[in-house]
Amino acid sequence: MSDLWSEPHYSFADDDLGADGLRPQKPYIYVASSWRNERQHEVVVRLRDEGYGVYDFRRPNGGKGFAWSDVSPSKARAQEQGWDHDACSPAEFIAALQDPLAVQGFNRDFAAMRDAEIFVLVLPCERDAHLELGWAAGSGKETVILLDDPCKASLMYRLVDHISPDLDDLVEWLRD
């Protein structure tokens, strides 16, 4: 991973720039969630409407974000029956993690993580988003979790700066 630190930082997407072509003055936000979370897009749009620059892992720089469906450790197996990243062997996972598309996706997301000032975890989500939020909390970044309803209790959520029951509360917390 030594080459990770030499990667250029995230370049802000056109839709994250103000009318003057400059980065917004409000803090830059990394929204961590899951491809399966239907609320993720709503959160990104609302925060942008509020004037924040927001990293959207699904559409970084207006392009397509990394998805496990983009890589397959076994092309023959993928063509035969598809590759299920939720139920793969350790060897398949390790091989897929080394795929150039996976490395590129990681570098792009991690650069945005380094640039972000605030992290928003949108539940429900999977392991990647929790690891991203843990890194942010450990790095001293401001962190907030947007709960789902019903939500699952987690003691370690006490590590974050704020827990929001809904999107309106999240926006209000950001304003303060």
Give the per-residue pLDDT at 158. Answer: 95
Give the per-residue pLDDT at 82. Answer: 57
pLDDT tens per residue across all 176 residues of the chain? 333 333 333 344 444 555 455 555 689 999 999 999 999 999 999 999 999 999 999 999 888 999 887 886 555 455 455 556 777 889 888 988 999 999 999 999 999 999 999 999 999 998 999 999 999 999 999 999 999 999 999 999 999 999 999 999 999 999 98
In-domain check, residue 49: yes
Query: What burial letters (b/e) apply to 2-35, b meaning 16+ CB within 10 Å?
Result: eeeeeeeebebbeebeeeeeeebebebbbbbbbe
Instruction: Please report, to the nearest 10 degrees, the dihedral formed by the alpha carbons of residues 15, 38, 116, 147 taken in order.
Output: 140
The Cα 18–Cα 130 span in angstroms is: 30
The Cα 44–Cα 42 span in angstroms is: 6
The total domain count for the chain is 1
Partnered with residue 54 across adjacent β-strands are 29
CB 103, CB 1: distance < 8 Å? no
Give the per-residue pLDDT at 173. Answer: 97
- Please tell me the pTM assigned to this model: 0.81
Site of tokens 């490395």:
103
In-domain check, residue 78: no
In-domain check, residue 81: no
The distance in angstroms from the start CA to the end CA of the chain is 38
Give the per-residue pLDDT at 3. Answer: 38
Please give the distance of CA 55 from its chain centroid, rounded to a whole number: 7
Give the per-residue pLDDT at 138. Answer: 96
CB 130, CB 121: distance < 8 Å? yes
In-domain check, residue 75: no
In-domain check, residue 82: no
For residue 144, the domain's CATH number is 3.40.50.450
The residue segments making up the domain with residue 162 are: 2-67+101-175
In-domain check, residue 148: yes
In-domain check, residue 9: yes
In-domain check, residue 80: no
Give the per-residue pLDDT at 6. Answer: 35
